[in-house]
Amino acid sequence: MKKHYLPCLLTFVILVSCAGDDTDFEFAEEATLPSFVAIGEDLETVWQLNYNGASQNAQIEDIGTQLAIDPNYLTLRQTGNQLSFYSFDSGFFDLSQKDVVTGDIQIFDRFYQNTDQRSVVWGINNETQVFFGFFAPLGSTNLAIRQIGLQDLQGQDLLLEADITRLYQPVYERNKLFIPYEDGSNIFKVGVYETNTQQLRVTLNFGTARPSIFMNADGNLAVLKFDSNTGLSLDIFDFDSIQLLQTTPLDLNQVFPVGALEAELQGDALYYEYTFVQPSALNSGPAIFNLGSQQNQILDLRGIIEQLETEPTNDFTLTTQRFSPKDNVFYVGYANLAENRTDEGGILILSREGELLQDIRLDFVPTYILKD
């Protein structure tokens, strides 16, 4: 049943502390700080951070209580200004939504019952519909899509392909659902499902190349594909026709995860999360690859972290990262794993050149930074 709630008055304002108050690290001077929204958790609830860059303060909301969710929710999805939290309990899926601009809240309690006929892998949604990727019947690897309308909670299934090997995280954009998977012959594919017509438009075949997918600044489908024989390349597909526009070989020693990828492509600049060869002090960090010059710029996040860890009570590990094309900065979330500080974290704001603009200390661990 659909329920409407007004946002709870569980909001308070705090001044954000800066690492510069406690260490000798120097921040970039006269930097104009951006404003942003982030989500995080502690052991008890889910928090929403609304950071105002002009005033350098933050509004913290207990979004967990507002939406009746706990830190163990399954998935968080973003559609524009709307956040959607998926939870599962006693055989039912719950969907809790909040518009971070208007504050409007909708809760769809027990809106879908999972049966022994389906094994749900992921859920994603737009403003009016939910899409489940699942295997059916239970125990098989037959890939299908369940589309459910949020107004009447009615839905239908569409079988995409039988006996696949693995299903990966999808990308939804403007009435198209891009579904990456590996078929039974270990061929990587991306199915393009039209949500308006509820039909499979086309299936892109990448052979043995592993596809990592996202939308570029022009609204087209970008596919970073890695092949063990030919290396890494970038394909751009026209969003409307799904025709290949161009392919660019990349001299970049990175293997990206298959499926939806958190990356931004602005002109010739690819903003992404670089994975360090282990052993290393960090697992990953922000980087910029120039498609024209084939130069890779890895920001010195390790040096920044080492400066911030001069306090004996600090032990940082990274939790989330995003580049903002609007503000031209990287956001890097971290948890402080030092003894007796397990619920503390923060967010670093870094310029494209790798300057630390701000270190925002929090009493919870940030796990998601909203897209522009």
Q: Residue 279: is the preceding peptide bond cis (ω within 30°)?
A: yes
At residue 17, the pLDDT reads 45
Residue 64: phi and psi, rounded to 5, are -65, -45
**How much is the CA Rg of the chain, to the nearest whole Å?**
21
| Distance separating alpha carbons of residues 55 and 64, to the nearest angstrom | 26
Q: Report whether 189 contacts 209 (CB < 8 A).
A: no
Residues in the chain: 372
Residue 328: phi and psi, rounded to 5, are 60, 40
At residue 32, the pLDDT reads 78
Q: Report whether 185 contacts 166 (CB < 8 A).
A: no
Burial class (CB in 10 A: 0-12, 13-18, 19+), 308: buried
* Tens digit of each residue's pLDDT, the chain (372 residues): 333 333 333 343 433 444 444 444 445 555 679 999 999 999 999 999 999 999 999 999 999 999 999 999 999 999 999 999 999 999 999 999 999 999 999 999 999 999 888 899 999 999 999 999 999 988 899 999 999 999 999 999 999 999 999 999 999 999 999 999 999 999 999 999 999 999 999 999 999 999 999 999 999 999 999 999 999 999 999 999 999 999 999 999 999 999 999 999 999 999 999 999 888 888 899 999 999 999 999 999 999 988 887 766 677 889 999 999 999 999 999 998 877 666 689 999 999 999 999 999 999 999 999 999
| Distance separating alpha carbons of residues 116 and 88, to the nearest angstrom | 15
Give the count of beta carbons closer than 10 Å to the beta carbon of residue 250: 18
At residue 43, the pLDDT reads 92
State both tokens at 147.
């589309």
Give the count of beta carbons closer than 10 Å to the beta carbon of residue 131: 21
Burial class (CB in 10 A: 0-12, 13-18, 19+), 335: buried
At residue 8, the pLDDT reads 38
At residue 353, the pLDDT reads 96
